[in-house]
Amino acid sequence: MVNKKILLVEDESIEAMDIKRTLEFFGYDVPYVASGGEEAVEKATEINPDLILMDVVLKGNSDGIDVASKIKKLNIPVIYLTAHSEENIIQRAKLTEPYGYMTKPYDRAELKHTIELALYKNKIENELKESEYNLRLILDSTAEGIFGIDLDDLCTFCNASAVNLLGYDNPNELIGNNIHDLIHRSHQNETPYMGFKTGKRVYVEDEKFMRTDGTVFSAEYWSYPQIKNNEIIGAVITFTDITERKKAEIEIKNSLNEKEVLLREINHRVKNNLQIIASLLHLQADSIDDKYMVDILKESETRVKSMAIVHEKLYQSPNFNYINFKQYLEKLVYDILYTYGIKIGTIKVQLDIEDINLNIDTAIPLGLIINELITNTIKYAFPQNEGNITIQLKSLPENMEITIADNGIGLPKNIKLENPETLGLQLVQSLVNQLDGKLKLNNDNGTEFKITFKELKYKKRL
């Protein structure tokens, strides 16, 4: 360990020699012994010792007290070792804030302890100053304004950002003044962050702060109570100027509203165009006598309608990615029955559908599947145009399940779902694969299609 350096300032050479030996016996280095005030100032600056042990009366125009005053900025602890104990000298010495004042003749043990305590005290003070400096550096480096107030609403400290945000030139314009008078002139008694006096942390999303020039800005702030010995002594307030953020939020909101209007208009136009196509197919079917061609046109019409209804529900939905599938399915089934001219009460449809929302990537293929299976049932399952159709949709722990069943004559026993021959079942199988689902057929009592699938993740459009 490096020995501490002590600058000895003593104009009596014999005493200086004795004190120097004593200090070296204690284990300290004494690199220089100064006898005059000017010399002491020069060597203190040059050597930068850990401590100065100095007499009050010295040679030259400056005494020890003058020397201590001149080198105070060096932050070197000073101990006076002198034969003078006059009251006026002691009072002068106090002004230099010495770390000790000993009178000659001195006790060696007392001198040792005084030096050790002085060095320790100086070390602690330097660490405290370093800590305070780092804290101040952190506070002044933050973009948020930070200030403290006491129970009388007086500002106790503030950082550089608080000074700048409030339009002041230096912290002294805030410290010691009533902060409410400065930033809440019009409603100082209504300031919500005074709730800290109840011991609660307070947050206000948008409060009006006033600058020194009288202009007002929107601030978001937090108030934290300061507690000492279980008593509230004040609060720390942090705040941020959110003027630009509020402007940006308004711009984003306006932009989103414009896009929402545009999306609604697009869905409305798509739905109308699909409806026009469906109407054209319907008119074309009414104008021909070939039953085979009429069935093809009606099948195409219901397929187009199943997609048109999706866009209709999207137009009505508050969310442009999801639709209420229960409402969609009710509308789809009604349109299919109407397209095929089914009279009320002849073919009954029972719906057991959970009130769930599905995204558009899942709703469109699932709607087409339901359209194909119900259309096929209406055309072939009931030769007498009478029967029951049941549609059930429910959520399972890891996926969803839809069942479409009827009590009709059933499908041919030799039908192969893996390689169907009809276009309708080919579409169903393809759409089930699109949903990463599984299709099962039960043909024992009527016809039952059971499809398990997972809702597809919405794919972002570039």
pLDDT tens digits, residue range 44-97? 999 999 999 999 988 888 899 999 999 999 999 999 999 988 999 999 999 999
> Which whole number is the average pLDDT over 173-196?
70
**461 is a domain residue:** no
- With cut-offs at 50, 70 and 90, classify the pLDDT of residue 462: very low
- pLDDT score at 125: 92
- pLDDT score at 255: 75
Look at residue 257 and tell me whether its pLDDT is greater than 90: no
| Structural domain span for residue 148 | 143-241
Does 206 share its domain with 253? no
**211 is a domain residue:** yes
Residues comprising the chain, all counted = 462
Question: For the domain that residue 226 is a member of, what is the CATH number?
Answer: 3.30.450.20
For residue 277, count CB atoms less than 10 angstroms from its CB and return exposed for 0-12, middle for 13-18, buried for 19 or more.
Answer: middle
Structural element, H or E, at residue 419: none
- pLDDT score at 228: 87
- pLDDT score at 204: 85
- pLDDT score at 181: 79
Question: For the domain that residue 84 is a member of, what is the CATH number?
Answer: 3.40.50.2300
Does 414 share its domain with 363? yes
Does 65 share its domain with 161? no
**201 is a domain residue:** yes
- C-alpha to C-alpha distances, 20 to 117, 127, 173, nearest whole angstrom: 19, 29, 51
* Domain total of the chain: 3
Does 198 share its domain with 256? no
Among 98, 118, 139, give the residue marking a domain's end.
Answer: 139
Look at residue 132 and tell me whether its pLDDT is greater than 90: no
- What is the per-residue pLDDT across 384-420, written as a single tens digit (0 to 9) for each? 888 899 999 998 888 889 999 999 888 877 777 777 7
Does 30 share its domain with 113? yes
Does 237 share its domain with 251? no
User: What is the 8-class DSSP label of residue 29?
Assistant: B
Look at residue 211 and tell me whether its pLDDT is greater than 60: yes
Contact 246, 218 (CB under 8 A): yes
**44 is a domain residue:** yes
Contact 11, 57 (CB under 8 A): yes
pTM above 0.75, yes or no: no
**1 is a domain residue:** no
Among 226, 241, 256, give the residue marking a domain's end.
Answer: 241
- pLDDT score at 317: 63
Does 155 share its domain with 189? yes
Does 236 share its domain with 122? no
Look at residue 265 and tell me whether its pLDDT is greater than 70: no
Does 124 share its domain with 188? no
Neighbours of 403 (CB within 10 A): 17
**459 is a domain residue:** no
The more confidently predicted of residues 9 and 250 is 9
**458 is a domain residue:** no
Among 215, 241, 267, give the residue marking a domain's end.
Answer: 241
- pLDDT score at 192: 56
Does 100 share its domain with 156? no
Look at residue 319 and tell me whether its pLDDT is greater than 70: no
Does 225 share its domain with 263? no
The more confidently predicted of residues 312 and 334 is 334
Contact 155, 173 (CB under 8 A): no
Question: For the domain that residue 407 is a member of, what is the CATH number?
Answer: 3.30.565.10
**19 is a domain residue:** yes
Does 314 share its domain with 394? yes
